[in-house]
Amino acid sequence: MSRAREQVPKGAVSVAAERTDAAAVSRALWDGLVRFNREQAGPLRYKRTVLSLRDEKGRLLGGLILQSYWRESYIELLWLSARARKAGSGSRLIKEAERRAQRRGSRLIHLNTYSFQAPGFYEKHGYKRCGAMSGSPQGKRRYFYVKRLRAL
């Protein structure tokens, strides 16, 4: 026997910007979404990995943030200082991210980047463009990429 869901009557809800404790409401929203996702698709096995690139004095030159869940990974960001660009550092970071993603069982890795960032860099590393949108920022494009990873 299925349980009937109680519906909220129309007009009984309001939409408002949180002003007093937005952080707590944000956590509650994420908790609700994660709970729903787990019910639909099983445990997320979420992991966030931060890779840094440092010089011999320990100064931060760049890095990459990788989020992994289910059987996919997402490159949240990849940033390199001007000093670290064109020296193979980005390639080292992306290869390490892919290695870690494969090791945890991810079958694909995805990201997004802007036209003024480095779409050619990702294409050179085997990422396939799977979408694009324009107009934000004005005169620029945002690209979405995915790459299939082989199972280990």
Residue 79 scores a pLDDT above 90:
yes
Helices (H) and strands (E) in the chain, counts: 3, 6
pLDDT in tens, 106-127: 999 999 999 999 999 999 999 9
Least confident range of 6-10, 81-85, 114-118: 6-10
Q: DSSP readout, 28-50? A: HHHHHHHHHHHHHH-----EEEE
Secondary structure of the chain: what % helix, strand, coil (to 5)?
30, 30, 40
Location of structure tokens 């945002």: 142
Helical (H) or strand (E) element with 26: helix 22-41
Cα(92)–Cα(149) distance, integer angstroms: 17
Band of residue 20 on the pLDDT scale cut at 50, 70, 90: very high
